[in-house]
């Protein structure tokens, strides 16, 4: 019986802000084009996913900015640049 290697080194593709923004736009567009009444819950989920992706991108950018500012302050304090 083969064991799954949990330390697999298969690289995870990096997703950029552009990729995430485009994905959110496609999800919203697809959701808006769903006309089948039985698929409306799926359309609602797609719209929600699009909003969540947009919000996550915003929060990630804020966190990155805050982190960069903190690093710059630390560099200044220790006599760097």
Question: Which pLDDT tens digit goes with each residue over 28-79?
Answer: 999 999 888 889 999 999 999 999 999 998 998 899 888 888 888 888 888 7
Query: How many whole angstroms separate alpha carbon 59 and alpha carbon 17?
Result: 12
Contact 27, 48 (CB under 8 A): no
Q: Is 22 helix (H, G, I), strand (E, B) or coil?
A: helix
Q: What is the CA radius of gyration of the chain?
A: 20
Query: How many whole angstroms separate alpha carbon 73 and alpha carbon 81?
Result: 10
Query: How many whole angstroms separate alpha carbon 16 and alpha carbon 21?
Result: 9
Max alpha carbon distance in the chain (Å)? 64
Question: Which pLDDT tens digit goes with each residue over 1-40?
Answer: 455 555 556 666 666 667 888 999 999 999 999 888 889 9
Record the pTM: 0.62
């Amino acid at each position: 019986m083969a064991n799954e290697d949990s330390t697999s080194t298969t690289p995870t593709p990096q997703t950029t802000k552009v990729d995430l923004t485009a994905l959110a736009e496609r999800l919203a567009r697809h959701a808006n084009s769903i006309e089948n009444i039985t698929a409306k819950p799926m359309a609602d989920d797609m719209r929600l996913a699009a909003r969540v992706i947009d919000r996550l991108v915003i929060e990630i950018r804020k966190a990155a900015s805050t982190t960069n500012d903190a690093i710059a302050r630390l560099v200044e304090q220790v006599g760097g640049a």
